[in-house]
Amino acid sequence: MLEQRKVAKVLNTKATIEGAGVHLERAFGYEEAPLLDPFLLLDDFSSNNPRDYILGFPWHPHRGIETVTYMIDGTVSHEDSLGNKGVIASGDVQWMTAGSGIIHQEMPQEFDGAMRGFQLWVNLPARNKMMHPRYRGVKKEHIPVWKGKGAAVRIVAGSLENITGPVGDIVASPSYFDISLEAGVFWEFAVPKGHKALAYIFEGAVCFSENDAEIAGGHLVIFSDGDLVRAGGAHRERGGRFLLVSGKPIGEPIAWYGPIVMNTKKELEKAFKEYQSGSFIKHKIKK
Rounded to whole angstroms, how far apart are CA atoms 113 and 93?
20
Rounded to whole angstroms, how far apart are CA atoms 202 and 79?
28
How does DSSP assign 85-134, residue by residue? EEEE-TT-EEEEE-TT-EEEEEEEEP-SS-EEEEEEEEE--GGGTTSPPE
Tell whether residue 235 is among the known ligand binding residues. no
Query: Torsions phi, psi of 52, nearest 5?
Result: -75, -15
Which positions ≥6 away from 88 have C-beta within 8 Å?
A: 69, 71, 75, 76, 77, 78, 94, 117, 137
Helix (H) or strand (E) holding 271: helix 265-277
Q: Omega into 38 within 30° of 0, i.e. cis? A: yes
Q: Which residues of 117-135 are buried (b: 16+ CB within 10 A; e: fewer)?
A: bbbbbbbbeeebbbbebbb
The single-letter DSSP state of residue 3 is P
Tell whether residue 132 is among the known ligand binding residues. no
Rounded to whole angstroms, how far apart are CA atoms 45 and 23?
7
Tell whether residue 78 is among the known ligand binding residues. no
CB 164 within 8 A of CB 219: no
The single-letter DSSP state of residue 54 is T
Tell whether residue 283 is among the known ligand binding residues. no
User: Residues forming the annotated binding site for Fe cation?
Assistant: 60, 62, 104, 106
User: Residues forming the annotated binding site?
Assistant: 60, 62, 104, 106
